[in-house]
Chain A
Amino acid sequence: DTAVSQTPKYLVTQMGNDKSIKCEQNLGHDTMYWYKQDSKKFLKIMFSYNNKELIINETVPNRFSPKSPDKAHLNLHINSLELGDSAVYFCASSPASGTLTDTQYFGPGTRLTVL
């Protein structure tokens, strides 16, 4: 009964490939996010979606394209992978967009390694 789940947990791929990471939450939340944690453990938001609608897009290269088929899922597709994309990607969810007091709950992360 994992609240926020991500697949795969590890992803190793070659430069130039296209890959996707999937995220699902069973908390009934309206809002989902993608964060990136770099090699120095610095965490930064990439995107947020509220009920399938893009809310936040933080100066992320357009090689990254989030897709939300429904409010329980937020997938991240990355085209033409580069070495600098190597990181841990975390999905998160919170009850509602615009409610600044809500807690965000994070998934276990996907460690992406680009060779």
Chain B
Amino acid sequence: AQSVAQPEDQVKVAEGNPLTVKCTYSVSGNPYLFWYVQYPNRGLQFLLKYITGDNLVKGSYGFEAEFNKSQTSFHLKKPSALVSDSALYFCAVRGYNTDKLIFGTGTRLQVFP
């Protein structure tokens, strides 16, 4: 069965420092992986996705994610964090042969000045 795990409930980084939000996955078939961000009292906004090809995927707001097949990971990264990046981040995987997205439990990112 498809699943993703986000091992950290919370990540704290200083503004200007690089950030990483971790995600590991377990799939049958090809992994179609997604990152979404949820700002307070807002909907989910799509950041990026991995379908195939280059293992480094670039997305919105300067975020990127690295797909690592051997480690079954899809970590979200940004070279220099902003206070405005503070939000809840969700990793998701497409269900096996279905449209549904299966979400991780979310990681709260806090960027402090």
Contact = CB atoms under 8 A, between A and B. Distances in A.
A90 B90 contact: no
B99 A100 contact: yes
Contacts of B43: 4, 90, 106-109
A102 B98 CA distance: 11
A94 B49 CA distance: 14
B100 A108 contact: no
A56 B34 contact: no
Interface string A97-108: 110111111111
Interface in A76-115: 90, 92, 94, 97-98, 100-109
A104 B101 contact: yes
A67 B66 CA distance: 39
B42 A108 contact: yes
A36 to B, nearest CB: 11
B100 A33 contact: yes
A45 B106 CA distance: 15
Interface size class of A (residues with CB under 8 A): 20 to 34
B25 interface: no
A56 to B, nearest CB: 6
B29 to A, nearest CB: 9
22 contacts: A4-B43, A35-B101, A40-B105, A41-B88, A42-B106, A45-B100, A48-B100, A50-B99, A55-B99, A56-B98, A56-B99, A56-B100, A58-B100, A92-B44, A98-B99, A100-B30, A100-B94, A101-B32, A101-B51, A104-B101, A109-B42, A109-B43
